[in-house]
């Protein structure tokens, strides 16, 4: 991964002196590669520090990463923002450097990786800047599509949607042939990263990941080689996630799978491969349901009518107090009693129709 990271103030670029101090602290005879996210301040200050370091005799190369796929194609000179795809570029460059490649080759691998990756983020809340009033631009029930990692407004605000719809939209934006941000087409192999923005639980990231992989395979015709899930590039306490898709080949996978002691890189040497789907035969059920066993008599007795009404009333009563049961159970247990009973009652009513 990285040998050093230069920190600025919150959401601010580090000053030139800090960057220069970092270069001096870690740069050996092989030189130094600066991997810079595509923001004006970062480019300005890292660029100035690189020039000063060169004047002191250091070998310095710079690679700019702009993997944002949410904004329209470039208007003006700013270009695309650097997002979570930068993490994959860091890993590839770090592995290339660890393999002993010269600086020019390490820079070339990092630049190539930056051209193969696209990212788009979705947020359900804005982040809280310490000491500042939190923005209220996202009203209740609203989410933001295509935002940056410094709290910048996104490309669009929309109503809350199910995760399936969000994932489908984000993948279409990343893989759009109109913008052509990433050179990925049907039949290619890809690496996927589902990145939490700071306040998204791992379970929700895993749910998102579970929607991303089959859509890439079935809707876009892509083979998924690796999946990385976690909080890699966050935005303080923002609720949301970003999806990163990178075109992969054997050289890319070799770098991603190279061992690292970086404490939060999520996989070991063998890489994090999507599980293969293995068909498992269902065991024979001890109770075989047949149409006959589910059929009702042609005519119910008076007692049968009473029993039917009683069962329906009991099932509906349980359905109506689902939330109360969950609340009561939450005070003494795990809070799912109502949901469990609701499921059983619905099944009873469904069977009675048959």
Decide if 110 contacts 195 (C-beta within 8 A): no
Which H helix or E strand runs over 328?
helix 322-332
3-state secondary structure of 58: coil
Between the CA of residue 114 and those of 93, 107, 136, 283, what are the distances in Å?
10, 10, 34, 49
Q: Confirm if 116 and 247 have CB atoms less than 8 A apart.
A: yes
Exposure of 11 in the CB half-sphere (CA atoms within 13 A): 13
Can you tell me the distance from the alpha carbon of 193 to that of 184, in angstroms, rounded to the nearest whole number?
16
Instruction: Tell me how many degrees the CA angle 236-237-242 measures, rounded to the nearest 5.
Output: 80
State how far the Cα of 227 lies from the Cα of 96, in Å rounded to an integer: 21
Compute the half-sphere exposure of residue 92: CA atoms within 13 Å on the CB side of its CA.
Answer: 30
- Check if 150 is active-site: yes
For residue 83 the two structure tokens come to 């997002």
Q: Which of 150, 169, 220, 305 is catalytic?
A: 150
Positive or negative CA dihedral for 150, 151, 156, 159? positive
Is residue 242 within 8 Å of residue 212, measured between CB atoms?
Answer: no
Give the Cα separation of 159 and 162 in Å (integer): 10
Two tokens, residue 247 = 């075109």
* Exposure on the CB side of residue 273, measured as CA atoms within 13 A: 12
Supply the residues annotated as catalytic: 150
């Amino acid at each position: 991964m990285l040998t050093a990271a230069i920190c600025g103030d919150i959401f601010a670029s580090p000053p030139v002196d800090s960057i220069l101090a970092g270069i001096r602290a870690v740069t050996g005879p092989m030189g130094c590669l600066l991997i810079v996210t595509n923001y004006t301040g970062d480019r300005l200050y890292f660029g100035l520090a690189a020039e000063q370091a060169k004047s002191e005799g250091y070998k310095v190369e710079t690679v700019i990463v702009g993997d944002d796929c949410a904004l329209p194609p470039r208007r003006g000179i700013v270009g695309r923002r650097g997002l979570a795809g930068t993490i994959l570029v860091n890993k590839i460059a770090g592995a290339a450097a660890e393999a002993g490649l010269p600086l020019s080759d390490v820079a070339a691998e990092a630049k190539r990786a930056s051209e193969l990756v696209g990212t788009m983020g979705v947020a359900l809340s804005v982040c809280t800047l310490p000491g500042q009033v939190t923005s209220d631009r996202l009203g209740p029930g609203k989410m933001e599509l295509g935002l940056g990692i410094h709290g910048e407004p996104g490309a669009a605000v929309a109503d809350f949607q199910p995760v399936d719809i969000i994932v489908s939209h984000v993948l279409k934006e990343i893989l759009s042939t109109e913008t052509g941000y990433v050179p990925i087409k049907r039949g290619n192999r890809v690496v996927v990263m589902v990145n939490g923005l700071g306040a998204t639980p791992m379970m929700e990231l895993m749910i998102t990941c579970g929607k991303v992989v089959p859509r890439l395979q079935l809707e876009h015709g892509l083979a998924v080689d690796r999946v990385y899930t976690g909080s890699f590039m966050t935005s303080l306490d923002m609720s949301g996630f970003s999806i990163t898709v990178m075109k992969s080949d054997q050289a890319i996978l070799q770098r991603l799978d190279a061992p690292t002691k970086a404490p939060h890189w999520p996989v070991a040497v063998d890489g994090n491969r999507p599980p293969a789907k293995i068909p498992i035969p269902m065991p024979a059920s001890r109770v075989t349901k047949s149409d006959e066993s589910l059929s009702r008599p042609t005519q119910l007795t008076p007692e049968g009518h009473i029993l039917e009404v009683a069962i329906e009333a009991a099932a509906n009563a349980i359905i109506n107090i689902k939330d109360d049961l969950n609340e009561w159970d939450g005070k003494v247990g795990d809070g799912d009693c109502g949901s469990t009973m609701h499921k059983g009652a619905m099944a009873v009513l469904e069977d009675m129709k048959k």
